[in-house]
Amino acid sequence: MLSTVTTLAAESAEHGDPAIHPYVVGAIALGLLLVLLLAVISFGGGREHS
């Protein structure tokens, strides 16, 4: 199985085009971080600081 993954990675590297566009990965990461930020803010909202 590892040799199959290695072979597929080597073949895709020869074409020069990434399988997933870097902007898509960045947009997904940004969206996930924003959702987590909103969850933290809503969880802690309305509480007094101790």
What pLDDT shows up at residue 24?
95
What pLDDT shows up at residue 17?
77
How far is it, in rounded angstroms, from Cα 31 to Cα 39?
A: 12
CA dihedral sign of residues 32, 38, 42, 46: positive
What pLDDT shows up at residue 37?
93
* 8 Å CB contact between 12 and 19: yes
What pLDDT shows up at residue 18?
77
pLDDT tens digits, one per residue of 2-44: 677 667 666 655 667 778 899 999 999 999 999 999 998 888 7
What pLDDT shows up at residue 23?
94
